[in-house]
Chain A
């Protein structure tokens, strides 16, 4: 196959942006994606088979067969995880990655989120650290992401955000019923409620129409294409340059390297299962935190016997996601409406500044509420089954509100991705294995967040509440997975430098959530996108024809 300037692995939030930025700068690009390219017409609104509720499987991959993972429990016993199980920590496998079927909350992290160690000190046993870059470094690229991808919302209600040079390109959608119930309650508590920033068209934008207000967002492809992901924004732009070729259903086997240890391309299985080689001047890994780490670990050579970029046993460590906790409130009046996207109101008063806690997280109301989501969320004391349960469903389904949020996890070096020594996928490649957990302080913060959610619901008039606050046995990574190829200035403690370049291999980049040192108390996608714009900008600036300026 014809050699190209850059091969980008993974057409998700980050990979789509990198492909577009490089292609627009005139580089020839091959964008490889293991999944398929779905469109708005593939939205089936199936409540049992989607990316959020997976009892009958994932709608947008990976397939159930031939893609296992393994997780080790606290005693070190291995368990197989299938793609529709929570322990799999799945993110979609398709063009757009998670952004095809996400809820599309598009948050900027706060300035403190990049300075967690300086702000709080690292709890003993944790690997809490500062980023080598700051909010100010990313600010222009947050703005670029908000305008190129398309974000609606309104930050005017909250003082808890970093400096902004430009407003969001679209106003928020008009408030729904839950917003009107929760907003005055939050204000009475002295909080600062506001409209959640969303990568969703509230007005026509970028050649596509506005949201039609159905509530089937998170887990589903938007059937009117009003939700903005890489598949309907940057990837079409990349392809339109004529410089980028997208190859779907292509699974990368390994990154190839030469005798000097530089990357020379990739070996991959194409859509017919044939092994192919794509040579390139630059290799960009954008497979999301778990698969990116796995690919590096599976790319072994004489110079890198333990995996590319893994000279110091750092690839895969500090795995993070978010620890979700919250509460359900039950009311003696109807709270339900069918208006999408459902999640509309948030507070970020609790992200930082609580004495004794290392951070916190945003709290918001929930997206789609299907009956199947509520069967185990009835008020305390409700029978688990039988007539009492059926009647409770009838009584409470439309008289309940869920508030929850992503508690920022405190990472550890032991919470990590490795590759399993025995289990292989359908291509014969060793699968990802999860070990360890986040720091237990995470759960203290999560418990506090749940009690805050409960207090907000009570202030709003809830007559019963029940908390949702668990202690998962493994790192809760999933769609918010991050941290496995930490960004830093010291090659002994990090995998990539501040421009996402692997320390040891100057033409190999990891550009996705893998590089997140910490993961904020917010949905991470806008930060992933901002970093992709930022790292692409640096790459393009150092590009000199068929290589990089040293």
Chain B
């Protein structure tokens, strides 16, 4: 997997926005040249998105969206097939944080689970277009093939009681092969 670091100007914006989070987060922030686990997101963006995705698919007896690798799926596609959606994510995630500040005076990740749900419900109306995109991508990452970075260990297929991998015949590729397509 490529580990292109996506730091640059957006990180500086995030840096300013992250002032309320505290020094620990800043210290862990993306520095130029540092290798990130994300191909596109900053660590802050990934955390915000993870919080939203986990409201769309929360944990119960089975993993939540982020536990099943949905953020990895979205991150990877933003570096590939979903390049056209990069700005929508950059701006959309920033707007979600503004929404969280406006309504709850805290960053989204710091809210209680109950308030996070309220925030995502507000996002669904206030940022309808972005929310629909995140919802769609979250379902793709959770219920789609593990080869694209989501559905880790075929968690959703196990949850649905589907044979795993759901294939008959020659399996001529590794489902967990990275960077598929």
Contact = CB atoms under 8 A, between A and B. Distances in A.
Contacts of B160: 371, 393-394, 397-398
Interface residues of A, number: 34
A296 B60 CA distance: 58
Given A371-B156, A390-B57, A394-B160, A49 B143 contact: no
Contacts, number: 85
A46 B181 CA distance: 8
A39 B56 CA distance: 39
A371 B162 contact: yes
A422 interface: no
Interface string A205-221: 00000001110100000
Size range of the chain B interface in the assembly: 35 or more
Contacts of A338: 162-163, 166, 168
A286 B167 CA distance: 35
A213 B156 contact: no
A156 interface: no
Interface in B130-149: 135-136, 138-140, 143-145, 147-148
A55 B60 contact: no
Given A46-B180, A386-B58, A393-B160, A223 B140 contact: no
B144 A47 contact: yes
Contacts of B181: 46, 49, 56-57
B161 A386 contact: no
A49 B180 CA distance: 10
Contacts of B159: 393-394
Q: Which of A41, A55, A64, A385 has the most CB of B within 10 A?
A: A385
A359 B62 CA distance: 48
Interface in B150-173: 156-157, 159-163, 166-170, 172-173
B60 A390 contact: yes
A391 B56 contact: no
Given A371-B160, A372-B144, A214 B56 contact: no
B163 A55 contact: no
B50 to A, nearest CB: 15
B55 interface: yes
A384 interface: yes
A407 B60 CA distance: 42
B77 interface: yes
Contacts of A44: 173, 180
Nearest to A390: B57
A187 to B, nearest CB: 30
A375 B168 contact: no
Contacts of A441: none
A56 B81 contact: yes
Contact of B140 (A55, A224, A386): A55
Contacts of A45: 167
Contacts of B56: 385-386
A390 B138 CA distance: 12
Contact of B135 (A56, A216, A384, A393): A384
A387 interface: yes
B143 A372 contact: yes
A55 B80 CA distance: 12
B91 to A, nearest CB: 21
Contact of B143 (A375, A391, A398): A375
Contacts of A384: 135
Nearest to A376: B139
A48 interface: yes
Interface string B30-66: 0000000000000000000000000111101010000
B145 A46 contact: yes
Given A47-B145, A48-B144, A49-B181, A213 B157 contact: no
Contacts of A223: 169-170, 172
A261 B160 CA distance: 62
Contacts of B162: 338, 371, 397-398
A47 B143 CA distance: 9
B167 A46 contact: no
A389 to B, nearest CB: 8
A104 B113 CA distance: 49
A126 B135 CA distance: 40
Instruction: List the 10 shortest-distance A-B pairs measured between CB atoms, nearest first.
Output: A371-B143, A214-B168, A385-B56, A375-B139, A48-B144, A397-B160, A372-B143, A56-B81, A47-B145, A387-B58
7 contacts: A45-B167, A48-B144, A57-B181, A338-B162, A340-B168, A375-B143, A386-B58
Interface of B: 55-58, 60, 62, 77, 81, 117, 135-136, 138-140, 143-145, 147-148, 156-157, 159-163, 166-170, 172-173, 180-181
Given A48-B148, A55-B144, 13 more contacts: A55-B136, A64-B81, A224-B169, A371-B156, A372-B139, A372-B143, A384-B135, A385-B56, A386-B117, A389-B57, A391-B60, A393-B143, A393-B156
